[in-house]
Amino acid sequence: MKKILLFASLLLTSSLSFSQITSGLLADYNFNACNEQDGILPKAFGTSTSVTYVTDRFNNPGSAANFSGASTISLGSPAKANVTTGLTISSWIKLANVSGQKAIVAKWNGNANTDQYLFMINGNKTFIAIGKPGFSAAGYTGTVSLVANTWYHVVATWDNTGRHQTYVNGVLDLDVVDANFNTINSTSSTALSIGSQSGTRLFNGAIDDVQLFNRKLTPTEVTSLYNAPNPIVNGLVSKYSFNTAETIDEVSNNDAVGTGVTYGTDRFGNTSQALDVTLNSTHLNLYDSYDGFAAGTAGKISYSFWVNFKTITSTQQILLGKSADAGCSGNDRQFLFRLNTTAQFEITSYSSVSAGNFAVLAANNVTCTTGQWYHVVLTYDAALTGNSKYQIYVNNNLQPLTQTSVFGAAIGSGFIDATACIGVGAYLKSDGTICVNTQRLDAYFDDLHIYNKPLNGTEVSTLYNAPNTTVGLNDVFGKTNGVVYPNPATSHLTIKTDEEIQLNFYL
């Protein structure tokens, strides 16, 4: 057997898989969770206008941003976007038409002193322009002709030799050296945007997997990006293990934001590897996410998690909710998944963003007690009728659901596209702040998985029976703060640690 020795000195600060190119990566917008979150610290959150979410090149529903020709994503002016000696912009695009100019990524407003970089489609060809102090370049256009309604991987690179390059589907398209543009406006305050250039050159079509690097990637690296596999396996869009005192989405790299977060012992007895939700103190904000595949007449979604209640009273406790409720100045409702006043799990589904149309379904066969872990799965399928759109599993058992309350149009056509943020443990408004400080969760919460499909009984059973796969670094490397575990979603070995270590792999 051939023996391979691999030495890696790594400072591991995120859960990006080993197959990804991370050197110089300054921003990553994959849109898999149907939001505009940047996957790379420091985060540069986007604000979208008229953006919807559509099927991506892998057929994942709601996992690519769709621009109507009047849409844009504004990313502000993050300092990290001010590159100096090199640049790479990588994206997947699908054009709705091939006329006019359509910006993919721009830090450009037509001002010679603030223009920095522009990557767009000029008619049906790639185009790159660089701005330097006092000058805005005319830019360079590639030669490959793109056609509408087809996914392409397009890349633009620049370095301080003045070399401008573009690639289409991993193949070099443009290669020009312009020594007059070997510097760049590296302190520009011009806003970074996706799908437009300061409100002009509006994109018409779909954009996905936008990545920015502060260096020029090599042809081999560009090919690697082009051949990157589908990150969503078996419908798993987001996974929060809470194993390392972090709220990182290990699949889509879209971190939840925690307030008052501490960590407790999980169901396997592993310390500091479950979220400790303290009454009136702790909650998570998962932003306005998942509507691209959860809402509408074809909407589908599943939430899976483990919960262990610290207290149970006659007050409801919010587990997961996308609802601002009536205590806020504006109503914005989609669903609430709670422990009800009789200690049973229930789903409240709204058929309008305002109050007055909802139905409540309760799993009356299970009455929860404190100090016990429960595996809970909520599935939703808009294609089904009435109350059958929802299923609740508790500890691997599908529960009969009883309609305990109904008002107005009841469930109607199902999940609607609400702008409230998804909250774990609290009502949240669209800006992520607490709506009303009631029905707060008091429990240990762990292993939140979110899928773009309704799970079946076999899949639920697999989650319920998942073994303890966490191995502490003190058992492996003598380190006390870190974790090694297999990621069943990607078949990669994930290693996290709080310090720089040398890893020796022997195969």
Q: Is the pLDDT of residue 491 over 90?
A: no
pLDDT for 246 equals: 76
pLDDT for 326 equals: 63
pLDDT for 259 equals: 93
Using CB atoms within 10 A of its CB, is residue 59 exposed (0-12), middle (13-18) or buried (19+)?
exposed
Reported as a pLDDT band with limits 50, 70 and 90, residue 3 is very low
Asked if residue 494 is part of any domain, the answer here is no
Question: Rounded CA gap, 60 and 138, in Å?
Answer: 38
Using CB atoms within 10 A of its CB, is residue 128 exposed (0-12), middle (13-18) or buried (19+)?
buried
* E strand or H helix that includes residue 474: helix 473-476
In 214-337, which ranges are continuous DSSP H helix? 219-226, 291-294
Give the mean pLDDT of 79-106: 97
**Residue type at 161 in one-letter notation:** T
Query: How many of the other CB atoms lie within 10 Å of CB of 97?
Result: 12
Question: Rounded CA gap, 481 and 501, in Å?
Answer: 12
Q: Is the pLDDT of residue 207 over 90?
A: yes
Looking at the fold, whether 102 and 206 belong to one and the same domain comes out as yes
pLDDT for 41 equals: 86
Give the mean pLDDT of 54-58: 98
pLDDT tens digit sequence for 287-311 = 999 999 999 999 999 999 999 999 9
**90 near 112, Cβ under 8 Å?**
no
Looking at the fold, whether 184 and 264 belong to one and the same domain comes out as no
Asked if residue 6 is part of any domain, the answer here is no
Got the DSSP string for 5-74? EEEEEE---S---TTS--TTEEEEE--TTSS---SSSSP---EEES-EEE--TT--TT-EEEEESS-EEE
Asked if residue 486 is part of any domain, the answer here is no
Looking at the fold, whether 215 and 244 belong to one and the same domain comes out as no
Looking at the fold, whether 222 and 240 belong to one and the same domain comes out as no
**61 near 292, Cβ under 8 Å?**
yes
Q: What is the DSSP letter of 345?
A: E
pLDDT for 500 equals: 43
Asked if residue 425 is part of any domain, the answer here is yes
Enclosing domain of residue 405: 236-464
Reported as a pLDDT band with limits 50, 70 and 90, residue 253 is confident
Looking at the fold, whether 204 and 284 belong to one and the same domain comes out as no
**441 near 320, Cβ under 8 Å?**
no
**29 near 45, Cβ under 8 Å?**
no
Question: In the chain, pLDDT over 90 holds for what percent of residues?
Answer: 73
- CATH code for position 180: 2.60.120.200
pLDDT tens digit sequence for 409-460 = 888 888 888 889 999 999 998 888 898 889 999 999 999 999 999 999 999 9
**117 near 107, Cβ under 8 Å?**
yes
**213 near 141, Cβ under 8 Å?**
no
pLDDT for 123 equals: 94
Residue where a domain stops, chosen among 226, 252, 268: 226
Give the mean pLDDT of 7-36: 69
Asked if residue 488 is part of any domain, the answer here is no
Looking at the fold, whether 217 and 251 belong to one and the same domain comes out as no
Please report the sign of the dihedral spanned by the C-alpha atoms of residue 310, residue 314, residue 315, residue 319. Answer: positive
Looking at the fold, whether 215 and 121 belong to one and the same domain comes out as yes
Asked if residue 5 is part of any domain, the answer here is no
Looking at the fold, whether 366 and 387 belong to one and the same domain comes out as yes
Q: Average pLDDT of the chain?
A: 88
Looking at the fold, whether 135 and 83 belong to one and the same domain comes out as yes
pLDDT for 470 equals: 63
Q: Which span out of 152-156, 246-250, 323-327 was modeled with the highest average pLDDT?
A: 152-156
Q: Which residue has the higher pLDDT, 148 or 253?
A: 148
Cα distances (Å, whole numbers) of residue 146 to 57, 122, 126, 228, 498: 16, 10, 9, 21, 45
pLDDT for 481 equals: 42
**439 near 212, Cβ under 8 Å?**
no
Looking at the fold, whether 219 and 257 belong to one and the same domain comes out as no
Question: Rounded CA gap, 53 and 22, in Å?
Answer: 26
Looking at the fold, whether 196 and 263 belong to one and the same domain comes out as no
The residues with which 274 forms a beta bridge, in sequence order, are 264
Residue where a domain stops, chosen among 163, 194, 226: 226
Looking at the fold, whether 194 and 330 belong to one and the same domain comes out as no
Instruction: Determine which of 180-194, 294-308, 490-504 has the lowest per-residue pLDDT on average.
Output: 490-504
pLDDT for 439 equals: 93
Secondary structure class of 282 (helix, strand, coil): coil
pLDDT for 478 equals: 39
Q: Is the pLDDT of residue 243 over 80?
A: yes
Split into its structural domains, the chain has a count of 2
Residue where a domain stops, chosen among 226, 248, 277: 226
Q: Is the pLDDT of residue 352 over 80?
A: yes
Reported as a pLDDT band with limits 50, 70 and 90, residue 320 is very high
pTM of the model: 0.88
Q: Is the pLDDT of residue 193 over 60?
A: yes
pLDDT for 137 equals: 86
Q: What is the rounded radius of gyration, in angstroms, for the C-alpha atoms of the chain?
A: 24
Asked if residue 492 is part of any domain, the answer here is no
Q: Is the pLDDT of residue 202 over 60?
A: yes
Cα distances (Å, whole numbers) of residue 166 to 127, 129, 417: 8, 11, 37
pLDDT tens digit sequence for 108-157 = 998 888 999 999 999 999 999 999 988 888 899 999 999 999 999 999 99
pLDDT for 479 equals: 39
Asked if residue 1 is part of any domain, the answer here is no
pLDDT for 329 equals: 59
